[in-house]
Structures are given as structure tokens and as C-alpha cells.
Structure 1
Amino acid sequence: MTASSALPGPHASTLDLGGRTALVTGAAGGIGRACALRLAAAGAKVRAVDRDAAGLDALAERSAGLAGTVEPLVLDLTDLDAAEHAAAGTDVLVNNAGLQLVRPIEEFPPEVFHTVLTVMLEAPFRLIRGALPHMYGQGWGRIVNVSSVHGLRASAYKAAYVAAKHGLEGLSKTAALEGAPHGVTSNCVNPAYVRTPLVERQITDQALAHGIPEERVVSEVLLQDSALKRLIEPEEVAEAVAYLCGPPASFVTGTSLVLDGGWTAH
């Protein structure tokens, strides 16, 4: 038998996470909400983590009728011990929660820089740390870190966000190298600007930082470097996350799945 004849033929792959537990941070809205619903649709029991209790309740209602379930967990990720504890027993971990402030470095509040790094880098480390014992014990696990094009490229006025995402890229690769012998993969998903409240809220700050009207921010700042001139939908990012959790991606680890509309092609 040749090596090529031993390969499986073409087949349709449907993500089945029945019996699996997934944890998604920042699940009350945007990308996190879309990921929680996508994984629940695949049959997972989803621990939906956010500090927005009302948003989590709305998510749980929206998930009714899906193959899996959504279990709201109100948690502030600056409570690092609680974050690590929450990740125990999870099969799939999606580190998504984030926050943004647009300011020049000399005007950037140090306390906000600290909070951004805590939520977007230190908390993912603690969540991974909490999830790995179970993943290693069963010989299977999927870690998906929602990074950004800003994990690969910098932009002015986003010192904390860019620093956190670059750090997350390194953390993800380290987890991939350590997890490989145990059947655990770790990857990043790197979207450009997604149609989320986080992006919408920064338009005013971007207008002030660049000295232009708000109506010009999307075309002249947010989409300036993108070949495809539109925002990404949260559901598109969720499909990339789902792909990394499925059988066709079992050999994909330590990499970044870029959804940037051609931004990094420059």
C-alpha cells in the first residue's frame, strides 16, 4: 500500500463536540457570543464566561434548542485565581475576552495598560494552566486564542492591545509545543476589524487620535490596510474557531489562522 492510498478520501466533516466541555471568555457579546453559540450547536456544554450577567442570560436564552448547552458563569478575569479554577475540566478553551483603549503612549494610563495585559495575556495563561491537567489526562484538548491582526502587526495608539496580542501569540506557540505530546493543539485566530461593540466603541477615540471626523474612521483608519473593504462578521471568526476544534485541523498547531482581508499581504 502506498502512502497516498492510505490517506482518507474526500468527505464532509461535521464538527461534533458531543460530550465535550468548552469554555469561552468574553462570551456575552461579539466574537465570544458567536463562538459560544457555534460550539453549543456542535453539541458542546459551553461555560460562557463574562462579567456581563445580563448579556450571558441573553446568550443562554438564544442557545435554547441547540444540540449543546450554554452555562453562564459571571466572572471578572482580573480575578486570576478564579479564572484558573473555572478552566478545570474543560476540553476546549477559547481565550477571547478583550478590551481596548486608543491613546498615544505618553497619554496612556498605566493602570489601563496593566488591566489590558491582565485580562488579555495573564488571564489566558491562567486559563490554559487550569485546563491542561484535564486535557493531558485524556490525551486530547483544543486551545484557541482569539488574537488579532494586531498580534502580527502594530498600529499607533494601541500600545496595550498590541503588546497583549503579541504576547498571546508567543503563549499560544509555547502551549502548542508543550501540548503536542499530549494530544493538545494550541492556535491563534487573527481577524482584522470585526463588527463588534469593541470596534464600534473605539471609533470616537480613533477620530480624536487621528484628528478626523468619526464618519471617516472606518474607511480611512480601520480598513485602510485591508484589501477587502468590509468588517468581518463575528460568525465568520466563530467558524474559524470551530475548524480548529475539528478533526480536519488535528495536525494544525502552533500557528495563526489569519482572517485579515489581505492586511498582512502588504
Structure 2
Amino acid sequence: RAAGVNRLSIGVQSFNAVHLHSLGRIHDPGQALQAFRLARSAGFRNINIDLMFGLPQQTPEQALADLQQAARLAPEHISWYQLTFEPNTLFYHQPPPTPDDEQLWEIQQQGQGFLRNMGYAQYEVSAFSQKNGQCRHNLNYWMFGDYLAIGAGAHAKVSTEKGVIRYARERHPQTYMLSPGARISRRQLEDDDLKLEFMMNALRLTEGVDVDLFGKRTGMAAASIAESVDRARQLGLLEKGADRFQPTSRGQMFLNDLLVLFDKR
């Protein structure tokens, strides 16, 4: 805090010891609470809590209990993600029993309603904040801004005169320390990648983005995605209007179906 850091994000994931164990986390609920209180005592007045739902054998009541405990701490921001199984992980190859679609829908509806009643506005698929508590760092990602890769496993996006470049650093900390400036991958995004990645980020935002931002970030005219935009609007997935790309409530609910319309790779 004394060095100028003004925001912390604490990876709690759950306040349930059984669920933390199932996720392979090494902290317990008491340590999560202690971390938050220590951050407050150090002077932080802008704190995010990361939580997950759809955990192995989690009930809607247990998911809501996590949010209730988080709300009692009154963080300025809550990130509430659905558990997904990433490739090259144990869960991906040996998936544990998780809530079915109906239970996930119930959890999501109850959770969003609870957070809304507690004064947290949803401004992105998984992000909820108190007034003026939106995460500017993540807004840069969702608005397809540039960022540098600092640290083991970090990824970057950099706009150049020749196009948009993505690169990544070495993932293993020990190897990274031996050559901290090394890049293990570097690629320039093709036009189809740019279109999809822009929309994949921007349409996560409840309010969407100005149409003009597409040209500023990709270097292409908005007309290049006009066919997909028109189709999305016909299906009721995008709001109608010439000045913004904004998902409808239906579009937010079926975001993957909306994004498929922009995948021309």
C-alpha cells in the first residue's frame, strides 16, 4: 500500500472448506477472511473478491452462502465466475460431478438477484461492483486495449504499425527467473482473429462499446463485420442501433451463440 498499489484482488474462490479442498486450494476459509481484514487494516479501500460457482457437488444454497459471506465483508468489487475445465488440467481429463444446467441456472439467477439487492451492479459477465468500483484494469482487457506481459506465465497484447501482436512469457517460475525477458510465443493476429477477439471481449460488457472503438482497436472498418452484426440483431442477441455494439439480455444469456456469429476462422 505504501508503494502506491491502490487495489487488491483476493482469490478466495469459496468460503466452504470442502469446496476449497475439491479445487486443490491450499488456504482455508479462515485464512481468506484474515487476508481481507489485513488488507483493510493496511489501508486498502478498493478490494475485489474472486469467487467461483458450479463447483463439484455444490448446491444452490452453498453458492449463495459464498456470496452472502462476501457481502458481509463489503468489498468494493466481486468477481463471480462459473467453474470451467481448462485443457491440460486434471479436471479436464477427469471431470468431477458438478451442478447440471438447471442447477447452474438457478445458482446464477439467485446470485445475480442477491448481488443486485446488495448494491452490486453487474457491468460484465462475471463482474459486479459498488458505485464507481469498476475494475479499470479489466476494462482495458474487455475494451481490447494493450497490456504488457510481466512475470512468469504472463501474456501481452501490443498494437504496432504492422498490426496487433500477442506474446507470452515462460510459465515455469524457475525457468522464467533464468531468462526473465524471454518470450516463448509471439504471433500477429490475422483479420479474422482480430474481429472475433474484439467482439469476444467487448460483448462481455453489459453496456457494450461504441462502434467507433472497433476501428480504433483493429484498424478495420465496422462494415467488415456488418453481416454478422445484422444477423445477431435479427436473432435478438444484439441491441439495434448504429452507434453501439451492445448485447441484449438474451445475448448476455447466450453469449457463446452470439460470438459464434463472428467466428469466421
Same fold (TM over 0.5): no
Larger-Rg structure? 2
Structure with more contact order per residue of length (Cα contacts < 8 Å, sep ≥ 6)? 1
Greater helix share, 1 or 2?
1
TM-score normalized with structure 2 length: 0.30
TM-score, with structure 1 as normaliser: 0.30
